[in-house]
Structure 1
Amino acid sequence: MRIIIFGPPGAGKGTQAQLISKEYGIPHLSTGEIFRSAIKNETPLGKEVKSILDAGELVPDEKVVELVEEELKDDKYDDGYILDGFPRTVPQAEAFDEILEKKDKQLDAFLQLEVPEEELVDRILSRGEGRSDDTPEKVKNRLEVYQNETQPVLNYYQKQDVVIGIDGVGSIEEIFNRIKDTLDN
């Protein structure tokens, strides 16, 4: 099973992706985790990504695609995976389609976590990750960047008829049960 979990910052993608990974025995590939690890370890990529994120911007498509394509070469992804934080732009989505095509695979589900903006801002500010861009103004900027640059990805996948909207409000368990019901049907 190859799944993309999608939604704005603070929607709970990482949390739900981990639960899906455990439930269905597929690896969770989070570009955010890869970037956070690089930042923490102060690798060249980490330093570059940190300065981009500190400005409230998105990491360039080529860097992200390169990172994901390289990671997906690992055998552990042969039987499926859940992608979290990728693709974030239409060029990334197109590049991902090419990656799938090369491997003669297809996307099984595109899960869209739907959460109102007020709830997103509250979640981000209360989760205390300590990101330098976790201020109300920067959070609103990130949500605006998401709307402008990432929302077209949703439209791209709607044309492929793989988008499944999931109500992302409620307890972690309630949201996960909605996802399970969807994936099991």
Structure 2
Amino acid sequence: MRLILLGPPGAGKGTQAERLVEKHGIVQLSTGDMLRAAVAAETPVGLEAKDRMARGELCPDSLVVGVVAERIVQQDAHNGFILDGFPRTLAQAEALDRMLDEKNLKLDAVIELVVDENALLERVERRAREAAAAGKPLRPDDAPETVRKRIADFRAVTSQLRPFYEAKGLHAKIDGMRPIDEVAQEIDDALKAVA
């Protein structure tokens, strides 16, 4: 099973991905983790990424797709994978399709967790207050102002990706505001429909 999991920060992607990994014996692949691993392994793509990252440059789509291409042929990804944080643009989605075609692979589904942005921001702000009250440090990417920007960035991304994957019959919207078990069941139902 090969999936893309879309959703803004705090939508529950991590929770649902863990469940899918366990249930289907697939791996969750984060582009950030894959880039760091390619750099550490000093693969050709990793060396190029290392040079660009050292100069403070963003990695071009071709490089990110190269890292994904290297990663999905590894043994632990043979049963399938969940892409998390990729693709982020229409150009990346198109490049991913070409790369998968070259490997005679296809995506099974693109699952989007849809959430109420205001409720999501309230949740993040509540977590920030709770962390401060408990004397725990707040991760920089969990700061409410950072989350607001990440939600806006995500909205811009999905405005491109949603119609692309809808046209391919791969996109499924899931109500991410429901209880975790209900969201999981809705994802399972969506996956049965494409199986």
Q: TM-score, normalised by structure 1?
A: 0.78
Note the C-alpha offset of 1:114: 0.6
Please name the residue that 1:167 is paired with. Answer: 175
Q: Percent of pairs identical after alignment?
A: 40
Greater shift, 104-113 or 76-85, is seen at 76-85
Task: Report 1:115-154 matches (<5 A).
Answer: 115-125=115-125, 126=127, 130-154=138-162
Query: 8 Å contact 2:35–2:67 — kept in the other structure?
Result: no
Greater shift, 108-117 or 58-67, is seen at 58-67
Note the C-alpha offset of 1:63: 4.3
Note the C-alpha offset of 1:110: 0.9
Please name the residue that 2:14 is paired with. Answer: 14
d(CA) in 1 for partners of 2:60 and 2:11? 22
Please name the residue that 2:185 is paired with. Answer: 177
Q: TM-score, normalised by structure 2?
A: 0.75
Task: Report 1:53-72 matches (<5 A).
Answer: 60-72=60-72
SS of 1:149's equivalent in the other structure is helix
Query: 8 Å contact 1:9–1:124 — kept in the other structure?
Result: no
Please name the residue that 2:46 is paired with. Answer: none
Amino acid at match of 2:107: L
d(CA) in 2 for partners of 1:7 and 1:82? 13
Query: 8 Å contact 2:62–2:95 — kept in the other structure?
Result: no
SS of 2:159's equivalent in the other structure is helix
Q: Which runs of 5+ in 2 are unaligned?
A: 39-48, 132-136
Task: Report 1:81-92 matches (<5 A).
Answer: 81-92=81-92
Note the C-alpha offset of 1:131: 3.1
Greater shift, 87-96 or 174-183, is seen at 174-183
d(CA) in 2 for partners of 1:85 and 1:139? 15
SS of 2:142's equivalent in the other structure is coil
Number of paired residues? 174
Note the C-alpha offset of 1:123: 3.8
SS of 1:82's equivalent in the other structure is strand
d(CA) in 2 for partners of 1:121 and 1:21? 27
Note the C-alpha offset of 1:179: 1.0
Task: State which structure, 1 or 2, has the greater radius of gyration over its C-alpha atoms.
Answer: 2
Give the number of the structure with larger relative contact order, counting CA–CA contacts within 8 Å between residues 6 or more apart: 1
Amino acid at match of 2:152: E
Q: Deviations over 1:7-61 (max 9, x none)?
A: 12221112111101111111221225446889xxxxx85x949x78xxxxx8653
Please name the residue that 1:41 is paired with. Answer: none
Amino acid at match of 1:166: I
Query: 8 Å contact 2:30–2:84 — kept in the other structure?
Result: yes
d(CA) in 2 for partners of 1:17 and 1:98? 25
Q: Deviations over 1:103-130 (max 9, x none)?
A: 1121111111110101222344427684
